[in-house]
């Protein structure tokens, strides 16, 4: 391993440690020494949030497919059918947790960036430049708010779907028979509609994230 690689690993380790300790000012200062500023960090975090939204969309699509298969269940291995839907729920729930964390990460650095930007505008003595910076801040905030609202809407749509999926998984666990699966058909139809809506919300969130990322470039 080269000295450069060792130094890079050490820097990343330090940044991770500062993050865990909650030393935000030191965290940002360390990044800035390498030419990475809050605007760059916001972009990185939005990209991470978008990527997890895309992954979550795939997980929920898989769950939707499995539910449709379960609705049409006409015999076979009941335990296998149960394990499949449980696996889809576990994966969807895990991905949803990551999405929530990513959104919080975005919110944190965005708030710090806008706060710093507001403060630094006051330090610009040239009126035309100060007005231009204020206009850029306003436009960036508007684009951010649009993206953030889409992310939060998709996040909120996950909750009822996960709750219903969890209910069905537990019900099947306690009643693993063909009659139990047949009794779920009405509930399954409802949750299929909710998952379809969730997928659309997630697609919109990804689209808005892409727009925001493009505006930051």
For residue 176, the domain's CATH number is 1.20.58
What was the pLDDT predicted at 72? 72
Q: CA 8: distance to chain centroid?
A: 27
Residue 213: which residues within 8 A CB-CB, separation 6 or more? 43, 46, 47, 50
56, pLDDT greater than 50: yes
74 and 127 together in one domain: yes
Q: What is the pTM of this model?
A: 0.82
Query: What is the pLDDT, as a whole number, of residue 9?
Result: 46
pLDDT value, residue 193: 87
Greatest mean pLDDT range, 9-18, 46-55, 192-201: 46-55
Domain check: are 95 and 148 in the same one?
Answer: yes
State the average pLDDT for the chain. Answer: 85
How many distinct structural domains can be found in the chain? Answer: 2
Q: Which residue is associated with the tokens 């684009």?
A: 143
| Domain of residue 125, residue span | 37-216
Q: Is residue 14 located within the same domain as residue 65?
A: no
Q: What percent of the chain has pLDDT over 90?
A: 55
């Amino acid at each position: 391993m080269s000295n450069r690689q060792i130094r890079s690993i050490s820097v990343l380790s330090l940044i991770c440690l500062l993050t865990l300790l909650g030393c935000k000012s030191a965290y940002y200062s360390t990044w800035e020494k390498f030419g990475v500023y809050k605007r760059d960090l916001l972009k990185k975090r939005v990209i991470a949030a978008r990527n997890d939204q895309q992954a979550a969309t795939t997980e929920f699509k898989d769950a939707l497919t499995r539910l449709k298969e379960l609705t049409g269940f006409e015999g076979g291995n009941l335990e296998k059918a149960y394990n499949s839907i449980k696996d889809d729920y576990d994966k969807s729930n895990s991905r949803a947790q990551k999405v929530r964390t990513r959104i919080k990460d975005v919110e944190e650095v965005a708030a710090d960036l806008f706060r710093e930007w507001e403060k630094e505008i006051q330090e610009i003595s040239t009126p035309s430049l100060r007005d231009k910076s204020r206009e850029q801040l306003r436009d960036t905030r508007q684009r951010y708010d649009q993206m953030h609202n889409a992310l939060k809407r998709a996040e909120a749509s996950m909750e009822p779907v996960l709750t219903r999926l969890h209910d069905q998984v537990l019900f099947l666990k306690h009643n693993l028979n063909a009659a139990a699966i047949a009794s779920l058909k009405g509930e399954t139809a409802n949750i299929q509609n909710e998952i379809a809506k969730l997928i659309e919300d997630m697609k919109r969130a990804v689209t808005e994230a892409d727009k925001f990322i493009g505006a930051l470039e």
